[in-house]
Structure 1
Amino acid sequence: MQPVDEVLTALRRIIRAIDLHSRQLTKETSLTGPQLMLMRAIADHPGDTTRSIAKLVNLSQATVTSIIDRLEARTLVIRQRSTLDKRKVELTLTEEGKEALSKAPALLQNAFIKQFEELAQWEQTLILSSLQRVASMMDAEDIDASPMLTLEQHLASTKGE
Structure 2
Amino acid sequence: MEKHEELLLALRKVIRATDLYSKQLNKLAGLTAPQLLILREVAAASEGITASAVAQNITLSPATVSNVIDRLEHKQLIRRERSTQDRRRVVLWLTAAGAERMHAAPRPLQEDFIERFQDLEDWEQSQLLAAMQRIAAMMNAERLDAAEVLDVGSYVETQSD
Q: How far has the Cα of 1:65 moved from its partner?
A: 0.5
Q: How far has the Cα of 1:153 moved from its partner?
A: 3.4
User: Aligned partners of 2:39 and 2:31: how far apart in 1?
Assistant: 10
Gaps of 5+ in 2: none
Moved over 6 A (4+): none
1:50 maps to a residue whose letter is: A
Q: Which residue of 2 aligns with 1:45?
A: 45
Aligned residue for 2:93, secondary structure, equals strand
User: Aligned partners of 1:145 and 1:134: how far apart in 2?
Assistant: 15
Over the aligned positions, Cα root-mean-square deviation in angstroms equals 1.4
Q: How far has the Cα of 1:156 moved from its partner?
A: 5.3
Q: How far has the Cα of 1:154 moved from its partner?
A: 4.0
2:6 maps to a residue whose letter is: E
2:114 maps to a residue whose letter is: I
User: Aligned partners of 1:123 and 1:154: how far apart in 2?
Assistant: 32
How many residues are paired up?
160
The superposition leaves residues 69-110 of structure 1 with CA deviations (integer Å, 9 ceiling, x where unpaired) of: 000001100000001110000000011111111221111001
User: Aligned partners of 1:117 and 1:127: how far apart in 2?
Assistant: 12
How does the TM-score come out when normalised to structure 1?
Answer: 0.95
How does the TM-score come out when normalised to structure 2?
Answer: 0.95
Between the aligned residues of both structures, percent identity stands at: 44
Gaps of 5+ in 1: none
Aligned residue for 2:49, secondary structure, equals coil
Instruction: Write the mapping of 1:8-157 to structure 2, written as runs, cut at 5 A.
Output: 8-46=8-46, 47-155=48-156
Aligned residue for 1:84, secondary structure, equals coil
Aligned residue for 1:87, secondary structure, equals coil
